[in-house]
Amino acid sequence: MKFPLPSFSLEKRLAQQGYCRIAGVDEAGRGPLAGPVVAAAVILDINHPITGVKDSKQLSPKKREKLYNLITKEAIDWAVSSVSAFDIDRLNILQASLKSMEQAVKALSFPPDYLLIDGRFTIAIPIPQQAIIKGDNTVLSISAASIIAKVTRDRIMENYHKEYPWYNFSHNKGYPTVEHKKAIEKYGPSPIHRKSFRGVLSEANKKEDRK
């Protein structure tokens, strides 16, 4: 399915209704077998849109880095938050994702008065908000948040690569590539693997059985 380029039309309509600080909220890392889920909240200046912003999945790593630098420089405010693999196993990935988004919103220096959240679910914060399916494709503030979340998480996984190089996190970022799954079979799961996820759980059980 093709989507139009993200626009500021929704934010502008909300501004006309009196909302001044409208935050886009998105997360990165629901699908990987390892590492945290990371969320970002971004408040953009609706009078100065940033050219080239779109869903992070549609951008090359180089372009994401360039836009990350531009967004963090020009946004009115932005914040990130992460929830660890341990807490993902404890809460489940949906609740962990919602928790990371809630924490990112709370970390903003300027409290937003409206939230635009990617996906089907709102978050447990007493701020007017709406969830927008595929919002990262259509709403500029959410697209900006998707870029901040993705770049932040990729950097986290590149650091984990230095600690656990045999999983090649710098390349797969924790996602279930063939190479990554073979590494889990060979070495077992690391402390940052999501033990409740299929493909990791079985290997974790095998490791326990060998003790």
Contact 55, 143 (CB under 8 A): yes
- For β-strands 77-83 and 114-118, DSSP reports them as unpaired
Please indicate, yes or no, whether residues 145 and 88 belong to a single structural domain of this protein. yes
Say what percent of the chain tops pLDDT 70.
93
| 96, 195: one domain | no
Q: Are residues 60 and 150 in the same domain?
A: yes
Asked whether residue 210 is domain-assigned, the answer is no
Is 3 among the domain residues? no
* φ and ψ at residue 23, rounded to 5 degrees: -105, 130
The alpha helices in the chain, defined as continuous H runs, are 9-16, 61-74, 85-91, 93-106, 135-138, 140-163, 169-172, 178-187, 201-210
Total number of domains in the chain: 2
Spatial distance between the Cα atoms of 185 and 182, rounded to a whole number of angstroms:
5
Select from 139, 155, 171 the last residue of a domain: 155
pLDDT in tens, 80-124: 999 999 999 999 999 999 999 999 999 999 999 999 999 999 999
The domain boundary, picked from 155, 171, 186, lies at 155
| Domain span at 99 | 9-155
Residues 173 and 139 in one domain: no
My answer on whether 109 and 198 are in the same domain is no
pTM score > 0.75 for this model? Answer: yes
